[in-house]
């Protein structure tokens, strides 16, 4: 799938449920992020089940460990797309690195925006959008993620045939975005080397995040990032209702003592 205008991408996304943007970041950024992750990938802690992958390493709380990951979380190209698909003040629901080693088997088919057992079966509106960034080339043999085009619109009970699976083949530095309702899975790694990816996943602002971001990225880490990253982590509020407040005040005050509130007036206390 080739790159195109935002309008073209949105039309394609609504039909297929996913879209590939090739070479979205340069290889220097790829190398920098891989070097920041390298100390954590020792091959000693593999997954605990066939969903995590018994031949896969997973790393969480990335913004507390690899600061350059912020560049893909708030990548302007993907954020423009997400801003068009999700409600204002959407959140970073999860962000993890997955290093798929040789011998890994396919994951079970699953969707990303049903964590927590939400009581709304498909078909339904989307609750989130996931991104998956390639830090090695994705090939049919090394565990490239597989998707089922159009399955975001299927009823809950429909299951895919193996012939409906499409591997996401793309070079390192590329990203695939997919609807949170889209059936997908990590593929089998039949190659001779691991395949690394990072998946920032985003959700509607009123949902609980899959990863508890304000603990995974506590204030001493969060304060060094951009305002957009801070908002994605949960240092924001939703109007109406001031949802997300802390002690009756805006959560940004936890990481910025000089924060005075976007509605501040001299005759009112800070929000």
The rounded distance, in Å, linking the Cα atoms of 188 and 142 is 7
So what's the pLDDT on residue 125? 96
Nearest to 143 by CA among 69, 24, 58, 55: 55
Beta-strand (E) ranges in the chain? 18-21, 56-59, 91-100, 128-134, 146-147, 166-167, 175-179, 184-185, 195-203
**pTM score:** 0.94
- Tell whether the torsion through CA atoms of 29, 38, 115 and 53 is positive or negative: positive
Number of helical (H) and strand (E) elements in the chain, helices listed first: 7, 9
Query: Residue 157 — left, alpha, or beta (φ > 0 → left; ψ -120 to 50 → alpha)?
Result: alpha
Contacts of 205 (CB under 8 A, 6+ apart): 87, 88, 89, 90, 91, 236, 238, 243
Q: Do 97 and 37 contact (CB within 8 A), yes or no?
A: yes
- Cβ atoms of 53 and 143 closer than 8 Å: no
How many whole angstroms separate alpha carbon 189 and alpha carbon 56?
10
- Please report the pLDDT score of residue 188 as a whole number: 97
DSSP state of 186: P
pLDDT in tens, the chain (271 residues): 445 688 988 999 999 999 999 999 999 999 999 999 999 999 999 999 999 999 999 999 999 999 999 999 999 999 999 999 999 999 999 999 999 999 999 999 999 998 888 899 999 999 999 999 999 999 999 999 999 999 999 999 999 999 999 999 999 999 999 999 999 999 999 999 999 999 999 999 999 999 999 999 999 999 999 999 999 999 999 888 889 999 988 999 989 888 877 565 555 555 4
Q: Which residues contact 206 (CB under 8 A, 6 or more apart)?
A: 238, 243
Cβ contact 17:149 at 8 Å = yes
> What is the C-alpha to C-alpha distance for residues 34 and 133, in angstroms, rounded to an integer?
12
pLDDT of amino acid 117: 85
Length of the chain: 271
Whose CA is closest to 170, among 203, 143, 152?
143
Question: 142 has which bridge partners?
Answer: 189
Tell me, what's the pLDDT at 2? 47
**Helices 6-16 + 76-85 axis angle, to 10:** 60
Phi, psi of 269 (to 5 degrees): -70, 160
* End-to-end Cα separation, the chain, in angstroms: 46
Where helices occur in the chain by DSSP H, the ranges are 6-16, 27-37, 70-73, 76-85, 213-216, 219-222, 227-233
């Amino acid at each position: 799938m080739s790159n195109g205008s935002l309008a073209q991408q949105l039309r394609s996304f609504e039909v297929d449920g996913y879209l590939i943007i090739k070479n979205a970041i340069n290889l220097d950024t790829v190398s920098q992020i891989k070097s920041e992750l390298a100390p954590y990938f020792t091959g000693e802690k593999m997954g605990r089940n066939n969903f995590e992958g018994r031949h896969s390493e997973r790393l969480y709380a990335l913004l507390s460990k690899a600061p350059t990951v912020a560049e893909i979380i708030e990548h302007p190209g993907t954020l423009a797309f997400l801003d068009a698909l999700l409600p204002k003040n959407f959140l970073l629901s999860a962000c993890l690195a997955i290093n798929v080693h040789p011998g890994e088997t396919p994951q079970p088919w699953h969707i990303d925006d049903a964590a927590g057992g939400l009581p709304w079966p498909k078909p339904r509106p989307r609750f989130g959008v996931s991104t998956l960034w390639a830090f090695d080339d994705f090939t049919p043999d090394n565990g490239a993620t597989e998707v089922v085009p159009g399955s975001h619109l299927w009823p809950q009970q429909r299951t895919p045939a193996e012939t409906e699976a499409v591997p996401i083949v793309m070079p390192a530095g590329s990203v695939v975005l997919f609807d949170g309702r889209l059936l997908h899975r990590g593929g089998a790694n039949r190659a001779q080397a691991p395949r690394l990816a990072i998946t920032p996943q985003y959700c509607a602002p009123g949902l609980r995040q899959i990863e508890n971001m304000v603990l995974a990225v506590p204030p001493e880490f969060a304060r060094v990032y951009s305002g957009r990253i801070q908002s994605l982590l949960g240092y924001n509020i939703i109007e109406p209702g001031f949802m997300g407040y802390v002690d009756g005040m805006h959560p940004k005050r936890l990481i910025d003592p000089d924060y005075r509130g976007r509605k501040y007036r001299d005759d009112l206390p800070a929000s």
